């Protein structure tokens, strides 16, 4: 989703119109509509101004809620994964030796945890970049 689609999505999901937004920006509706039809020429200044209006008006794009959900998911996964890894390491090093089988098991656990984190972080990046 490009920035123009994002803005239109926020307007639609919050029952607002381009005319409403144009009046808040103090520009003609036709000017705003033209800007929203061309994401390549849509300026950062316009985007920031619109986001400020959305924030002031309490409008939500849904992105914040998705980000919150995903970061909470990462927090839960991290806490559980690290606790399990820590327990396993403590059990394996009780005798102060690591067998080949224990090394293999730990390597597998670390790789799995790393993959889980990467997947979760990729989800967050997708949300941010939409």
Query: For residue range 78-115, what is the model confidence (pLDDT) as tens digits?
Result: 889 999 999 999 999 999 999 999 999 999 999 999 99
| More confident position, 53 or 13 | 53
Is the model's pTM score more than 0.75? no
| More confident position, 66 or 79 | 79
Q: Give the percent of the chain with pLDDT over 90.
A: 48
pLDDT band at 72 (very low <50, low <70, confident <90, very high): confident
The burial class, CB within 10 Å (0-12 / 13-18 / 19+), for 102 is middle
Q: In a 3-state reduction of DSSP, which class is residue 26? A: coil
Q: Which two tokens stand for residue 61?
A: 């794009």
pLDDT, residue 50, reads: 92
pLDDT, residue 43, reads: 87
Q: Which two tokens stand for residue 63?
A: 């992105």
How many angstroms separate the Cα of 49 from the Cα of each of 7, 16, 33, 104, 125?
Answer: 11, 16, 15, 54, 23
Alpha helices in 1-130 (DSSP H): 3-13, 18-25, 29-36, 44-57, 63-92, 100-129
Query: For residue range 14-40, what is the model confidence (pLDDT) as tens digits?
Result: 899 999 999 999 999 999 999 888 877
Query: How far from chain centre, in Å, is Cα 59?
Result: 18
């Amino acid at each position: 989703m490009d920035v123009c689609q994002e803005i239109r999505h926020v307007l639609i999901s919050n029952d607002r119109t381009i005319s409403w937004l144009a009046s808040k920006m103090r520009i003609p509706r036709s000017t705003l509509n033209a800007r929203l039809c061309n994401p390549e020429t849509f300026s950062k200044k316009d985007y920031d101004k619109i986001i400020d209006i959305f924030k002031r008006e309490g409008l939500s794009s849904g992105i914040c809620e998705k980000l919150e959900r995903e970061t909470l998911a990462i927090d839960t996964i991290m806490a559980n994964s690290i606790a399990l890894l820590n327990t396993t390491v403590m059990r394996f090093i009780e005798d102060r030796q690591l067998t080949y089988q224990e090394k293999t098991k730990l390597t597998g656990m670390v790789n799995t945890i790393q993959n889980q984190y990467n997947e979760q972080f990729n989800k967050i990046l997708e949300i941010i970049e939409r």
